[in-house]
Structure 1
Amino acid sequence: MRSRLSQRIEQEQGNNIDLSPLLDVVFILLIFFIVTTVFVKETGIEVDKPKAVSSERLERNVILLAISASGEVMYDGANIGVSGVRATIAHALAKQKKALVIQADKNTSAQLLVDVIDQAKLAGASQINIATKRGS
């Protein structure tokens, strides 16, 4: 006859749950969510946009540029200036044709906005939009 200790050890070994299939599923889900995540590049600054009655929503897959009130042209958190707009937009459009959205502060000079639009057109941007606040 077996001792009580050996019976107890056998009983505890039989009650274990195999967690390896669960871990496999968790890792597969983790990889799936990482691969399917869409990363949106923000401009890096907050601008005070002008109001417009005729504003409309655009798709999420766009190139964002921001022009601050002090005249800084920002892309992905970096100050690229007017001189960097052409190369930056050309590089972004090389992968996929996207719309360009310029978030210009309402106190930005019109000349600076026109310079940025000119550089974007020279880079090949065909759809250029200016971000506004919905107003009435």
Structure 2
Amino acid sequence: MRLQRRLSPQINVDLTPLIDVVFQLVIFFMVTSVFKIAPGISLELPESGTAEPLTVKELVISAESEDTIYVNNTLTTIKGIPAVLETWKEENQGKDMQVILEADKNAPYQLVIKLLDILRQNGLADVGLRTKAQR
């Protein structure tokens, strides 16, 4: 006659240390991650003593040179801006038409004037110039 054991061995894997390590890794990567506001567009803005923080409402034009101009993160040239503005105005009918213009501090002043002229010709006269605060 065979007798059965009352206490059979039970094998349990403790997952607590594994969960702790994974949680520590998640926190580490969250803290050390760097987020860019506008990826691919790195401008060095000129400084201004009266600069104020400004929230982006509608249209942002970033200019590095005549061949490198971004309209809401869309790459174009100075000749392609009227077409981009026309499609943007069609998509945003009836909305507040505010434009923010930012140019690299090494960009020629003539480029900024050309952009302002193009914006006025397309009916966008409410233009804000973005700068960064002096330190």
Q: TM-score, normalised by structure 2?
A: 0.61
- Give the CA deviation at 1:44: 4.2
Q: Who is 1:98 aligned against?
A: 97
The alignment partner of 1:82 has SS state of: coil
Q: How much is the aligned-residue C-alpha RMSD, in angstroms?
A: 2.4
Percent identity over paired residues = 18
Structure 1 residues 85 and 69 mapped into 2: Cα distance closer, same or farther (>3 Å)?
Answer: closer
CA shift, 1:71, in A, is 5.1
2:83 maps to 87
Per the alignment, in what secondary structure is the counterpart of residue 79 of structure 2?
Answer: helix
Alpha-carbon distance between aligned partners in 2 of 1:72 and 1:51, rounded to the nearest angstrom:
22
Is the Cα–Cα contact under 8 Å of residues 101 and 129 in structure 2 kept in the other structure? yes
Deviations 1:66-119 (A, max 9, x none): 111575111243331111222222322331232111110000001111111111
Per the TM alignment, residue 49 of structure 1 is displaced from its structure 2 partner at its CA by 0.2
When residues 75 and 45 of structure 1 are mapped into structure 2, their CA distance, relative to the original with a 3 A threshold, is same
Aligned match of 1:132: 131
Unpaired segments of 5 or more residues in structure 2?
A: 1-36
Higher helix proportion (structure 1 or 2): 1
How many residues matched?
96
TM-score, normalising length: structure 1:
0.60
What letter matches 1:91 in structure 2?
Answer: T
Asked whether the 8 Å contact 1:87–1:123 carries over to 2, the reply is: no
Amino acid paired to 2:74: A
Matches within 5 A, 1:1-136: 42=38, 44-68=40-64, 72-94=68-90, 95=92, 96-135=95-134
Contact kept, 8 Å, 2:66 with 2:77, in 1: the verdict is: no
